[in-house]
Each structure stands twice: as structure tokens, then as C-alpha cells.
Amino acid sequence: MIHHYRLTIQYKGTRYFGWQIQAEGAGITVQGELNKALTNISKAKAHTMGSGRSDAGVHALGQVVKASIELEIEPEKLLKALNGHLPEDIRVIEAKLCAHDFMPTVDAVSKEYQYRFTSTRQPTALQNDFIGNYPFEVDIEKMRQACQLLIGEHDFVNYFCQGTEVSSTVREIFECEIITVAQANWGMLPAHHIFRIVGNGFLKQMVRLLMGAVWNVGRGKISLEEFESSLTSVKMERMGATAPPQGLYMVRVNY
């Protein structure tokens, strides 16, 4: 008999080739490590389904996973067993039973991502794995105006990396803002900004492409009007580069 568990996991994505299992020999993934741990615990093949994919180098604070195994075990004991088998840069922070028809992808009401960044010629020695850097002077207030333009339903065909088939590139953004964070942890983390976005779903590399465009708004390379015109079904040239992965965090999934 198959038993189903809902796991919430955190991971530092630096050394992983993303969430999803890749072809053999392509590199280690978070899902691959989780499946390996589940198999060792249950002594049988495990099946997992995540709430969304994350690219190589991207982190997660609240990835939700459905794990299906042939072992019946108390969720708290499964949590402890998994953390005993997983690498230290992957942690299960919550485990509970779930229904067999729970789908962490389609059942999600909204997801929140955050992109942490600095804009300095001299990034700190310790930020490289955790905070992206755009080494140009930017107008944060103008970037906040760009965030407001994102709220609502738009076609994000211009903020979509090909490679995954989707039925529609239309998504609704519920919240979007830029938060400024003071220097923290005795200077280990520098003062930085957070591009925070909540929506009903996200396309492949959508947040990183939006971050690149919002940076260009702040730098004055594109206008707010040009940015707004890119949020339509009309295919246009890229509004900016894809932001590097290390600043991006999958923060939470709401059900």
C-alpha cells in the first residue's frame, strides 16, 4: 500500500542542478537526493512531486513536496529520518499526511518568490552564494513603480524561457514590491534589496527575467512605458538580461 506525505523543505541550491531529476550523468539535483533518502528509509522506490521547479543555483525556503512511499510512518519520525539521510544543505522543516489526490502544483493558490540583490561595484566576500549583484547605480523608486505595473493579470510571453510546454503564458500577480534590508548578522550580509513577487503561478525563469527588466528600468535603459508594453502577448526583444540564480528564493506556496 502506498502512503502519501506532504513535506516542506528548504535547500541551498548552490551545488545542485536545480530541483528536478535530470538525465543520468547531468549532475545532482534536490529531488534526486530526496528520492534517494526516501528509498533508503522505506527500502522501496519512492515517488515525489514538487510544487514547482527551481533552476540550478536557486534556493528554497518553502518548497512543498508530495512524497509517496510504501512505508507507513508517523510524519514527525519521517522528518527526523529524512534529515538524518539528507545532505546538510537540504532540510525537511515540516511533514504531514496528505490525501492521495493532493497535487502540490495545481492545488496551489499562490506562490511567493524573492530576489535579493545589491547594486555595487564591490560586492562582499560572503554574499556570492546568496545575493545577486547588479553593479550599476539604480533608481529604486522607479523600480518600485515598475513593480506596481506588474500587479494584475498579464501575458508574460516576453518573460518566459522556452523548454517547458505551457498551455498559457498568462499569469496573475497579486503583490509585487521592493523592500530594503539593512546590514545584518554583524556584516555577514550587506544592506540589500528584495524584489518580492506573489502570483498564481510562474513560468520558467520568469522571475529572473522580470528582475533583469526591472533593473534596466532602474538604470534608465528602458522606460516605464516600455516595460508596461512588454506585458502583452506581442513578442518583443528582451527587456533585460536573466538575473543570476543565486539571488532567487522560492519562499512559500499557499494552499
Tens of pLDDT along 76-88? 999 999 999 999 9
Please tell me the chain's helix, strand, coil percentages from 3-state DSSP, rounded to the nearest 5: 25, 30, 45
Q: Are residues 245 and 180 in the same domain?
A: yes
Q: Are residues 122 and 241 in the same domain?
A: yes
Residue 164 has pLDDT above 80, yes or no: no
Residue 98 CA to residue 179 CA, distance in Å, equals 35
Question: Does residue 251 contact residue 62 with C-beta atoms inside 8 Å?
Answer: yes
Q: Are residues 215 and 162 in the same domain?
A: yes
Q: Are residues 63 and 117 in the same domain?
A: no
Closest CA to 203 of 238, 244, 137, 154: 154
Other CB atoms within a 10 A radius of the CB of residue 39 amount to 14
Q: Angle of helix 206-219 relative to helix 140-150, nearest 10 degrees?
A: 140
Statement: the pTM of the whole predicted model exceeds 0.75? yes
Range of 40's domain?
A: 3-97
Q: What phi and psi values does residue 111 have, to the nearest 5 degrees?
A: -135, 150
Q: Are residues 69 and 114 in the same domain?
A: no
Is 55 one of the annotated active-site residues of the chain?
yes
Tens of pLDDT along 210-231? 999 999 999 999 999 999 999 9
Residue 207 has pLDDT above 90, yes or no: yes
Residue 210 falls inside a structural domain? yes
Tens of pLDDT along 23-37? 776 789 999 999 999
Average pLDDT over residues 170-175: 98
Average pLDDT over residues 228-246: 94
Tell me, rounded to whole angstroms, the distance of Cα 169 from its chain centroid. 18
Residue 184 has pLDDT above 70, yes or no: no
**Number of domains making up the chain:** 2
Q: Are residues 49 and 115 in the same domain?
A: no
Identify the domain boundary among 75, 97, 119. 97
Q: Are residues 20 and 124 in the same domain?
A: no
* Angle in degrees, CA 160, 149, 18, rounded to 5: 30
Domain of residue 195, CATH code: 3.30.70.660
Instruction: Give me the count of residues in the chain.
Output: 255
Other CB atoms within a 10 A radius of the CB of residue 225 amount to 8
Identify the domain boundary among 66, 97, 128. 97
Residue 206, C-alpha cell as written in the block? 520568469
DSSP E strands: which ranges in the chain?
Answer: 3-11, 47-50, 59-69, 90-97, 110-118, 132-133, 152-155, 170-181, 192-199, 248-254
Residue 4 CA to residue 2 CA, distance in Å, equals 7
Which entry of 55, 101, 107, 155 is annotated as an active-site residue? Answer: 55
Tens of pLDDT along 48-63? 999 998 999 999 999 9
Residue 120, C-alpha cell as written in the block? 555595487
Residue 21 CA to residue 30 CA, distance in Å, equals 8
